[in-house]
Amino acid sequence: MKEELDKDIDQEIEPREMNPTEYRLLTLLFNFFRFPDGITLSSLRKIMEGFYDNENRDSDRRKLSRDIEELGALGFHIKYYPQKNGKDFVYVLVKDPLSKTLEFSEEELREISALLLRGYSEAPKYELYTAARKIFAGDLEYFPEIPESSEENSEEFGEAAFQILEALKNHTPIRIKYYKTFPEDSYLKEADPIRLIRKGGQDHYLLAYDREEKTKKRFVLPKILSVELLQGDPLYQARGAKKETEEDLITHAGLFPVHEPKNVEWICKEEGLVKAKLFLTGIKYAEEKNKLSFQSTNLEGLLPFLWRWPDAIETVLPEELNSVFRNSVKQISELYEKV
């Protein structure tokens, strides 16, 4: 087999030295590989001194154009684009003209995503929702998570989500139907949407300006039952005293401003450490072996973890948090006894 291959080799081609034109073309091509974002003629005159150094700049431009045509004939296609100053061009090597990809602007991606989400609201399909979420300009902060098996109220949820995205994009005031504990206790609230806040990749909040109370609030996204777009300009102006602060982005109940910051220490059991750290997502804590230290401005915001996993922690400080926990358990017990 090897002997057959050796017979097919053309013995008449002999290596020879490159002439000046071939050397210039090869050097030019390697420079295009070095600078994939493009090169200007001014840059080429500096890095290829001796090749493009004619006192007449137009002469060098014509020479470069001929060289680009030669490279194009060899399969290396180069395009040029005018710069903003209008005095120079950027020459860019087309990497692979046979494997072109579609490119969309951020606005186009948002519009396509909004159309998919509207289709989801009309005929809820999880695939439509995830497709819309994936191409929404790559910015998943604007999208809530929904479980794949979720079917209950999916049409209403899709419509509400679409309206919120539309309002965020166009800075449109909205009227929402919202509840805190039970859907039957819902109420209407007019607000200017500011942004969506994601907590831990799953929980989402709408940060909005309450037009009646004239303050910023966080609304739990799944508790928004319906959304109505309103006419007129928003009252919220993102500047001065109304501009966003770090406090606006707080999503952990343990950091809600209820009292002065208090030092908290949890010494966790080994199997409970991961659960505790997941619960504290959004709170800055220091970790030393199985001890987690942090500050809280709302001790009651830590109770959900203590209720659900009381055996995950060996020691809780301060004692005030223990007292708050015991009182809460007592109140819950009394309520169950009445039922």
Backbone angles phi, psi at 160, to 5 degrees: -65, -45
Q: What is the DSSP letter of 319?
A: H
Q: Where are the domains of the chain?
A: 20-93, 153-244, 253-338
Q: Report the distance separating Cα 150 and Cα 154, nearest Å.
A: 7
Cβ(54)–Cβ(45) below 8 Å: no
The identity of residue 28, as a single letter, is: L
CATH 1.10.1760 fits 153-244, yes or no: no
Architecture (CATH level 2) of domain 253-338 = 2-Layer Sandwich (3.30)
Locate tokens 């014509």: which residue? 62
Which residue shows structure tokens 């910023």? 216
Half-sphere exposure of 54 (CA within 13 A, CB side): 11
Residue 61, token pair as written in the block: 């431009």
Q: Are 142 and 205 in contact (CB under 8 A)?
A: no
Which is it for strands 224-229 and 262-268: parallel, antiparallel or unpaired?
unpaired
* Cβ-based burial of 51 (10 A; exposed 0-12, middle 13-18, buried ≥19): buried
Tens place of pLDDT per residue across the chain (339 aa): 455 555 555 555 566 677 888 888 888 888 888 888 888 888 888 888 888 878 888 888 888 888 888 888 888 888 877 766 656 788 888 876 555 566 777 777 777 777 776 666 666 666 666 676 666 655 555 454 544 444 444 444 567 777 888 888 888 899 999 887 777 888 999 989 888 776 554 557 788 888 888 888 888 777 888 888 888 888 877 665 556 666 666 667 788 778 899 999 999 988 888 888 888 877 889 998 889 999 998 898 898 888 888 888 999 999 999 998 998 888 877 776 665
Element (H, E) at 189: strand 187-199
